């Protein structure tokens, strides 16, 4: 059986509104989250991700009422992340109507949270978001990755919207989160986020090749071909995008028809 590849719009939330920036800064308003999610539902999105991007920095929980409104109106899986630090936080969000929770900074701080979450709610509910940045200072024990220009680097896990380095090797961390019970990895490269120059293929391919769980490629879509390359060269199971959908450059349907025309199995 051929598994279909998923297309996932991502809605970054701040103060209950959808925002979009470049490299996680320079945010501008993109609309009401439930209205946008409803539009993507109608266009045939396979899932929607809500990320409360200010939650970890501002130490506050995710916006429960937005999740409840969305869950009441939508008939597609909903993943919610941002500010989820405890099993109670996970339970609150799942109870509000989310299908999956995405954890990032809290998983790095307390890796056991992944195991506790998957034991309590099942691996299918636990997504670990991994934000990464290239580090050109090669050190022993790092996973070397060769870039298109021939340079070598390793990818470091960063947290708090890319503002904190962790010293963790991204490929090693991806393997660990899988071992701990994560059901999926949402991989965002700070190098490409918001640039519209395409996904960071070297790290996407490296992580996809290192784990057996689905990897969602995120950060940098600008053209229809970028989605295709995310699946073919990056070996991703799903491709996530934000601004190209929010500002009407493409519909989810257009992306899927393009991919189907190039032989990528999608749900139309």
Positions marked catalytic: 12, 131
Q: How far apart are CA 143 and CA 188, in angstroms?
A: 17
Asked if 254 contacts 225 with a C-beta cutoff of 8 angstroms, the reply is: no
Q: How far apart are CA 175 and CA 171, in angstroms?
A: 6
3-state SS record for 132-192: EEEECCCCCCCCCEECCCCCEEEEEEEECCCCEEEEEEHHHHHHHHHHCCCCEEEEEECCC
Bridge partners, 25 (sequence order): 22
CA dihedral angle for residue 198, residue 98, residue 174, residue 135, rounded to 10 degrees: 50
* 65 CB neighbour count, 10 Å cutoff: 10
DSSP tally for the chain: helices H, then strands E? 11, 13
Asked if 99 contacts 125 with a C-beta cutoff of 8 angstroms, the reply is: yes
Longest CA–CA span in the chain (Å) reads: 51
């Amino acid at each position: 059986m051929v598994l279909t590849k998923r297309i996932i719009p991502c809605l970054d939330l701040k103060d209950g509104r959808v925002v979009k920036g470049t490299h996680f800064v320079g945010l501008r308003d993109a609309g009401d989250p439930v209205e946008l999610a409803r539009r993507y539902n109608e266009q045939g999105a396979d899932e929607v991700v809500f990320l409360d991007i200010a939650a970890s920095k501002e130490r506050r929980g995710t916006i429960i009422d937005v999740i409840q409104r969305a869950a009441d109106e939508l008939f597609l899986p909903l993943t919610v992340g941002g500010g989820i630090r405890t099993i109670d936080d996970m339970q609150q969000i799942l109870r509000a109507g989310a299908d999956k929770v995405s954890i990032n900074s809290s998983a790095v701080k307390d890796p056991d949270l992944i195991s506790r979450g998957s034991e309590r709610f099942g691996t299918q509910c636990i997504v670990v978001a991994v934000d990464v940045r290239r580090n050109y200072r090669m050190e022993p024990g790092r996973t070397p990755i060769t870039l298109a220009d021939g340079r070598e680097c390793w990818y470091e896990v960063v947290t708090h919207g890319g503002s904190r380095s962790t010293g963790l090797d991204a490929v090693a961390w991806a393997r660990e989160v899988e071992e701990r019970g994560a059901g999926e990895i949402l991989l965002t490269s700070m190098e490409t986020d918001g640039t519209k120059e395409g996904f960071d293929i070297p790290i996407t391919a490296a992580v996809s090749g290192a784990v057996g769980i689905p990897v969602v490629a995120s950060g940098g879509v600008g053209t229809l071909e970028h989605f295709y390359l995310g699946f073919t060269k990056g070996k991703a199971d799903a491709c996530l995008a934000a601004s190209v959908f929010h500002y009407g450059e493409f519909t989810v349907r257009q992306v899927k028809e393009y991919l189907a025309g190039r032989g990528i199995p999608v749900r139309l």
